Amino acid sequence: MLSDSSRHSELAPSPWVERFAPMIRPGGRVLDVACGAGRHARWLARLGFEVDAVDRDLSGFADPPPGVELREADLEGGPWPYPETRFDAIVVTNYLHRPLLPTLVGSLEPGGLLLYETFAAGNERFGKPSNPDFLLRPGELIEAVRGRLRVLAFEDLSVTTPRPACLQRIAARRE
């Protein structure tokens, strides 16, 4: 259980990811997309998942724990690094590159979960990101999975912790 102070830290796992992680197949293979310093990859590995983590800059993730396989790749300028792999869950937080959305959906095993949370339209009033390229439009994550995944939960809201922001988030399962 996380204390209130660590829960509100930007280094702690997102409460959205924490909420749905128990629905991932135990011991399954999970991909952390644009993993940054690996807050989710590390936490998921501690839960016993086999974790792949990809980012174009892994300098902040120099010490991956057992159970985490790192891959340095440019997800916007290069080929998708996992063309042959299907995952039991894909986690994306605080990152948006719209052309990747169909690939993420198509990279789930049957029963696999997409857990996606990033900034949404309206966030510009709080600061960055404010570029519309990095802000989800209303309902955009629902549209991205429509007809392909079953939506378990969706939110489009403003939050105050760990800092004020407009977020959109979805948990959706491949049937």
- Burial of residue 69, with CB atoms counted within 10 A of its CB: 0-12 exposed, 13-18 middle, 19 or more buried: middle
Chain residue whose CB lies nearest ligand SAM: 36
Compare residues 75 and 170 and give the one whose CB is closer to ligand SAM: 75
The candidate with the shortest Cα–Cα distance to 58, out of 76, 78, 74, is: 74
The residue type at 102: P
79 beta partners: none
* 36 near ligand SAM, judged by CB under 6 A: yes
Which CB, 79 or 147, lies closer to ligand SAM?
Answer: 79
Q: Is 57 in the site for ligand SAM (CB under 6 A)?
A: yes
Which of 22-30, 49-57, 141-149, 167-175 is the region at the interface with ligand SAM (rule: CB under 6 A)? 49-57
Q: Which of 134, 115, 114 is nearest to 124 (CA)?
A: 134
Alpha helices, H only, 22-172: 39-46, 101-106, 140-145
Q: How far is the CB of 50 from ligand SAM (least distance, A)?
A: 18
Q: Is 98 in the site for ligand SAM (CB under 6 A)?
A: no
34 binds ligand SAM (CB under 6 A): yes
Q: How far is the CB of 10 from ligand SAM (least distance, A)?
A: 7
Cβ contact 157:166 at 8 Å:
yes
What is the contact surface with ligand SAM in residues (CB under 6 A)? 34-36, 39, 55-57, 74-76, 93-95
